[in-house]
């Protein structure tokens, strides 16, 4: 697989990106279920404005197709909590792994030491993203998350925990 040369990380632009975010979250049940309720362009703009200090857009061919976020930064300990998502049409190209690795390297260069993330145990694609980006499996949090399915029934999900240290070997991925 050849890396998409037009892919890059950039700051979110709420006015420009709201429609793409709204469409992506409505095209994927998982994104729609895990995000705050995004029913309108105003909701999507508000969401992007709220996450802007911690998040970057993953852009492909001039369009925002995903996001990468480093939240819950703890300067004293040099840690942050990572998350990522891609619109369904952008998946399968290695963009999420490249974005996660690129952002991780940037954060290590800024002085962070440990980056953590969690992926639902029933989401092998998200687990593969973390592993390809050099994150190491550290354990499973049983029944950590609770989501309501399409029938309105609540289900619990295990979460696989990962971390990457500044001292861990970096993967051989093309940066975004």
88-112 per-position pLDDT tens digit:
999 999 999 999 999 999 999 999 9
Window from 10-14, 131-135, 145-149 with minimum mean pLDDT: 145-149
User: Sorting pLDDT into bands at 50, 70 and 90, what band is 136?
Assistant: very high
Q: What is the mean pLDDT of the chain?
A: 93
Contact by Cβ (8 Å): 124, 145: no
Lowest mean pLDDT among 11-20, 31-40, 95-104, 145-154: 31-40
Mean pLDDT check: name the lowest of 4-8, 87-91, 144-148.
Answer: 4-8
What are 48-77's pLDDT values in tens digits? 999 988 999 999 999 999 999 999 999 999
pTM: 0.92
Q: Which domains does the chain have, with CATH numbers?
A: 8-165 (3.40.630.30)
Residue 151 vs residue 9, higher pLDDT: 9
For the chain, what percent of residues have pLDDT higher than 70?
Answer: 97
% of the chain residues with pLDDT over 90: 83
> Which residues are 136's β-sheet partners?
163
Residues contacting residue 96 through CB under 8 Å, at least 6 positions apart: 58, 66, 68, 84, 85, 86, 129
């Amino acid at each position: 697989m050849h890396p998409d040369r037009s892919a890059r990380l950039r700051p979110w632009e709420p006015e420009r990106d709201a429609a793409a975010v709204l469409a992506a979250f409505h095209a994927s049940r998982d994104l729609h279920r895990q995000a705050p309720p995004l029913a309108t362009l105003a909701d999507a703009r508000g969401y992007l404005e709220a996450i802007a200090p911690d998040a970057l857009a993953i852009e492909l061919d001039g369009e925002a197709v995903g996001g990468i976020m480093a939240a819950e930064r703890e300067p004293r300990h040099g840690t942050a909590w990572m998350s990522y998502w891609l619109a369904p049409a952008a998946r399968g190209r290695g963009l999420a792994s490249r974005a996660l690795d690129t952002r991780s390297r940037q954060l290590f260069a800024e002085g962070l030491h440990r980056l953590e993330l969690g992926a639902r145990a029933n989401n092998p694609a998200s687990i593969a993203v973390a592993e390809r980006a050099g994150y190491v499996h550290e354990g499973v949090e049983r029944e950590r998350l609770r989501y309501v399915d399409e029938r309105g029934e609540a289900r619990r999900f295990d979460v696989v925990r990962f971390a990457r240290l500044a001292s861990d070997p970096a993967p051989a991925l093309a940066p975004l």
